[in-house]
Structure 1
Amino acid sequence: MNSHLRTALAVLALAAALSAAGCGDSHGAGSPGASDSGINGRTMVDGGCPVVREQSPCPDRPLSARLTFTGGDPERTVAETTSDALGHFRVSLPPGTYIIRPTNLTGAVTPIAQPVSVTVTSGRFTTVVVPFDSGIR
């Protein structure tokens, strides 16, 4: 077997192993068998308008953010994901109570978000909006 073929087979085997482990999923991977329940939602930042006028609305806007899901006793990280450019995310998790710990991807102090507690019930995805504060008043 030539070295190019061995390398190609090794890369394919590694890709298959990572995919089976859930590492290839950009929206995070929860526990095995939890595909019928979990959390989906959006990360949004307030409009950040110093003065809001009726004729000039200042709507919330989507924000891509890093989300770490913790739960259990003792509390541990059970999943991580990054919301997309429109703020959408979806993570499969078994029933239980979880804390979503959001992080601003820019590294700046603002926008900032507080942890959000979410309860997942069997057979459904709980929908949540994770609000970020722009810091503009």
Structure 2
Amino acid sequence: MLVSEVKCSVCALLAALLWLCGCNSPSGPVTGHSGVVTGFVLTAPVCPVERVGQECPPRPVSGAAVVALDGDAVRGSTQTDSTGAFHLTLPDGRYVIRATNVGGYASTAAELVVISDRPVHITLVVDSGIR
């Protein structure tokens, strides 16, 4: 073999290895670290008519489904307790957190970044259906 043929073969082999390494890279978080997202799910409005001087604060939602989405993929899920509280442990990354109450009303989505050792606390509000 000529020196130039060996160089070409080595270059081709290196190019193939780089291509294969790129094809196997996972699309999700790969750090092995995880963080915690906690929060509450509330429902509002809870009074058919709100009047000045009469408070009508949102109420906790028991049994709401809470999901962490990475694009269209569900990366974590849980349900709220009797106080509307939830707790998710997720791999480091960017997520959309959404809650749905038992009646099927969904919350507005909260976009957040999970980073190890930096707990995130959010409050999600689902529509009560009262109008």
TM value normalised by structure 1: 0.62
**Cα distance per residue 1:103-131 (max 9 Å; x no partner):** 222xx35x442332222233111110011
Specify the code of the residue in structure 1 equivalent to 2:70: G
Where do 4+ consecutive residues of structure 1 move more than 3 Å?
A: none
Instruction: State the match for 2:77 in structure 1.
Output: 80
**Whole-Å Cα distance in 1 between the matches of residues 67 and 43 of structure 2?**
18
**Whole-Å Cα distance in 2 between the matches of residues 119 and 33 of structure 1?**
13
Specify the code of the residue in structure 1 equivalent to 2:119: F
**Whole-Å Cα distance in 1 between the matches of residues 90 and 126 of structure 2?**
23
Instruction: State the match for 2:88 in structure 1.
Output: 91
**Cα distance per residue 1:13-63 (max 9 Å; x no partner):** xxxxxxxxxxxxxxxxxxx752xx221000000142232223321111100
**Whole-Å Cα distance in 2 between the matches of residues 62 and 38 of structure 1?**
21
What secondary structure is seen at the aligned counterpart in 1 of 2:74?
strand
| Higher Cα Rg, which structure | 2
Which residue of 39, 42, 53 corresponds with 1:41?
39
How large is the RMSD of aligned CA atoms in angstroms? 2.2
**Whole-Å Cα distance in 2 between the matches of residues 78 and 93 of structure 1?**
7
Structure 1 residue 135, shift from structure 2 partner: 2.5
Instruction: State the match for 1:61 in structure 2.
Output: 59
**Whole-Å Cα distance in 2 between the matches of residues 122 and 33 of structure 1?**
6
What secondary structure is seen at the aligned counterpart in 1 of 2:57?
coil
Alpha-carbon spacing, 1:113–1:46, altered in 2? closer, same or farther (3 Å): same
Gaps of 5+ in 2: 1-31
Specify the code of the residue in structure 2 equivalent to 1:71: D
